[in-house]
Amino acid sequence: MRLKYYPETDSLYIDLSEKPSTESKEISEGVVLDYDDSGNLVGIDIDNASKKIELKELTLSHLPSIVHTVAA
């Protein structure tokens, strides 16, 4: 899973899978869910992210994986 913030557009993309998106559905204004060809959720796109979610802190708890941090 990858989280990528684009400050120039104030959008956040949460990439849940390496599979390509084949269908997108806007579930509320500026929130789009991306699905693969099997109907599995592969990504979430959030426009005007700083107005919709708290971006200043990210807490990861008990994840069964390695966490990589890339400085902005």
Report yes or no on 17 lying in a domain: yes
pTM higher than 0.95 for the full model? no
Eight-state DSSP code of residue 1: -
Number of domains in the chain: 1
Dist CA 53 CA 12 (whole Å): 10
Report yes or no on 24 lying in a domain: yes
Report yes or no on 63 lying in a domain: no
Please report, rounded to a whole number, the percentage of residues in the chain having pLDDT higher than 70.
97
Report yes or no on 64 lying in a domain: no
DSSP output for 4-72:
EEETTTTEEEEE--SSPP-EEEEEETTEEEEE-TTS-EEEEEETTHHHHS--S-----S-SS-------
Provide the residue range defining the domain that includes 7. 2-52
Range 33-48 average pLDDT = 98
Q: Please, which contacts does 55-64 make with residues 24 or more away whose CB atoms are closer than 8 Å? A: 55/5, 55/12, 58/3
Decide if pLDDT at 72 tops 70: no
